[in-house]
Chains A and B, each alone.
Chain A
Amino acid sequence: MARITAGVATSHVPAIGAAIDNGKTRDPYWLPMFKGFEFSKHWIAAAKPDVVVLVYNDHASAFTLEMIPTFAIGCAERFAPADEGWGPRPVPVVEGHPEFAAHIAQSVIQQDFDLTIINKMDVDHGLTVPLSLMFGQPAAWPCRVIPIAVNVVQYPPPSGNRCYQLGKAIRRAVECYDPDLNVQVWGTGGMSHQIQGPRAGLINKDFDQRFLDRLISAPDALAMMPHIDYIREAGAEGVELVMWFIMRGALDAQVKTVYRFYHVPASSTAVGHLILENAV
């Protein structure tokens, strides 16, 4: 049977992708941040996931204002890197897992989560930057990816609790899939950041550290935090953190923190990163 072996959370700042693609990871500005992912690259080389269910948000790349699904699942065979206005990132095409994705879609919809099914989609930095951070620059990504796209572009995004419950539903879907697959769930985006208006540049380290603490130890209560608290405390774009609850919901109530990293800044963003495993 398929099983979820770990959860990963990480920010997905576009400038991180640009730093990797342009060979700037050793620049003094970027070095401390990339050092924070060295452990993770070794860890994942040993963990060897077959499939990553990768929760991210599209940034007006695949979905314009023509269609805005709150939750969407990518069921295609492959997903090409999107042209976000400066040409596509020079990274491998993302290989999907159509059969497994279709299974998850059917199971999760029957658990009252009305996912939008996407059979053709380009994926932007929201999905490819986390892959680069965890896997570096391989000729091909070493695992299949099932994208779960969450709307955080047009307000309101889904609530933290809705995301948390979706994570639980995805876990149930994974655990009733016959093939023996090693599955990870990743939640991406955040942490505190605001990239628009005169308040741009807002960073709230206290909020972020407390969020990391409580996501690990008290996710049920943290999931109830209203959107306005994210916006006011962690910046307008800090609300992306709701996506981390899908990852957290897919794990046990008790988890082991394998790794935790926090760094300010990457461009305008506080970078947070967690690797969690079920405590067992």
Chain B
Amino acid sequence: MRLAVASIPAHNVAMALDKPYADVPGTTIFDAELARKGYHLNMFCSSLMKAPNRERFRAGERAYLDEWPMTEQQKEAVLARDYNAMIALGGNIYFLAKLFSTDGQSFQHAASLMTGMTPEAYVEMMVKGGRSPEGNRYIGEKK
């Protein structure tokens, strides 16, 4: 069995997939690899679509998280509401939305947190037309 597995090195399989989105700055594309990594984190978020679960989570976040087979890193990112960390650990924004909705926050508020801007500064940027694509297309691109 070990030989059979070794005959298809995982990195070769991964290299066969084209991932041209890896060099887009400040952007994580939720592909099959991340979906696998974040499965339980995202399913925990899904559970918050039910009001009784939201109440139990609010009453004891750590205890509720411990009901899910998530990694310790994922749990700590949730407790800290570190959305960029959750995304890096396989969280998808539409699942994470169930978490910030439970906190009574909007998509706009969550977006401001991820950009490191204050909510007010973020809203102002959007009202002025949003973040320009200029200088934001490729990692390392000159602005």
A70 within 8 A of B: no
List which A170-227 residues lie within 8 A (CB) of chain B: 192, 194-205, 207, 226-227
A14 within 8 A of B: yes
Kindly state the interface size class of chain A when it binds its partner.
35 or more
A65 within 8 A of B: yes
Task: Choose, from B2-10, B69-77, B119-127, the stretch at the interface.
Answer: B119-127
A-B pair number, CB within 8 angstroms: 162
Q: Name A's interface SS.
A: loop
B107 within 8 A of A: yes
Q: Verify B130–A64 contact, CB threshold 8 A.
A: no
Chain A: which residue is nearest B112 at the CB level? A200
Interface size on B, residues (CB 8 A): 57
Could you tell me the distance between the alpha carbons of A270 and B133 in the complex, rounded to whole angstroms? 13
Q: Verify A153–B27 contact, CB threshold 8 A.
A: no
Residue from the set B50, B100, B114 with the largest chain A CB neighbour count within 10 Å: B114
Looking at the assembled complex, report how far the CB atom of A263 sits from the nearest CB atom of chain B, in whole angstroms: 11
A196-B93 contact, Cβ under 8 Å, with A15-B108, A86-B101, A267-B106: yes
Chain B: which residue is nearest A231 at the CB level? B21
Q: Verify A202–B130 contact, CB threshold 8 A.
A: yes
A203-B129 contact, Cβ under 8 Å, with A15-B106, A231-B24, A231-B29: yes
Chain B: which residue is nearest A122 at the CB level? B49
A158 within 8 A of B: no
Could you tell me the distance between the alpha carbons of A201 and B43 in the complex, rounded to whole angstroms? 26
Could you pull out 20 A-B pairs where Cβ atoms are within 8 angstroms?
A: A14-B106, A61-B49, A65-B42, A66-B43, A85-B98, A154-B35, A154-B92, A156-B31, A196-B87, A196-B93, A197-B27, A199-B24, A199-B25, A202-B132, A203-B131, A226-B20, A231-B27, A236-B29, A237-B93, A265-B126
Besides A18-B106, A85-B97, A195-B93, 14 other CB < 8 A contacts?
A14-B106, A59-B94, A64-B95, A65-B35, A154-B30, A195-B107, A195-B110, A201-B111, A227-B21, A228-B21, A232-B133, A236-B24, A267-B108, A268-B108
